[in-house]
Amino acid sequence: MCIRTDIVAGANNNQPVAVDLLLVRDKDLIKKLLTLPASEWFEKRAQFMRDYPNPKDLLVIHREWVPDQNIPCSTIPLKPMPKATIIFANYFTKGEHRAHLKNAESAVIHLMQDDFQILPGKACSRTSCPEAGQ
């Protein structure tokens, strides 16, 4: 899966935006996560990670970007294939700031002033886009 991200100037009151991409295989956990606003996810993230230590059940990819930053794309390995892919963005404004992606489909995360949106993305390869974390 290829993830491209862009962030507008002045986003999040001109403060960094933390974004967590979750690859989830546990069905009960998916139900819990899809009820949480981002603020609660970020508050309880460490406990969720302790409760689900196996990366096959929950894998969290954490990133943080500053407004107007140029962000390289990332390829996200999907082995084993998750049952759900969920994104949380930590904004200062009230709101859910959560998205549920179609599994294995590439996407663009567009970080705006007070919220984010997910747009369809083009596929990429390891040669056209580095592995996550590079």
What would the DSSP string read from start to end of 33-77?
A: HTT--HHHHHHHHHHHHHHS--TTTEEEEEEEE-TT-----EE--
Read off the pLDDT of residues 16-64 as tens digits, 9 standing for 90 and up: 999 999 999 999 999 999 999 999 999 999 999 999 999 999 999 999 9
Helix (H, G, I), strand (E, B) or coil at 79: coil
Report which secondary-structure segment, H or E, holds 30.
Answer: helix 27-33
Give the Cα separation of 29 and 13 in Å (integer).
32
pLDDT at 124: 77
CATH number for the segment(s) 2-120: 2.60.40.4150
Work out the mean pLDDT of the chain and round it to a whole number: 91
pTM for this model (two decimals): 0.90
Report which secondary-structure segment, H or E, holds 89.
Answer: strand 84-90
- Quick check: 20 and 3 in contact, CB under 8 A? no
Higher pLDDT, residue 70 or 131: 70
Higher pLDDT, residue 108 or 104: 108
Q: How far apart are the first and last CA of the chain?
A: 15
- Quick check: 61 and 3 in contact, CB under 8 A? no
Instruction: Indicate the domain borders of the chain.
Output: 2-120
Residue 97 has pLDDT above 90, yes or no: yes
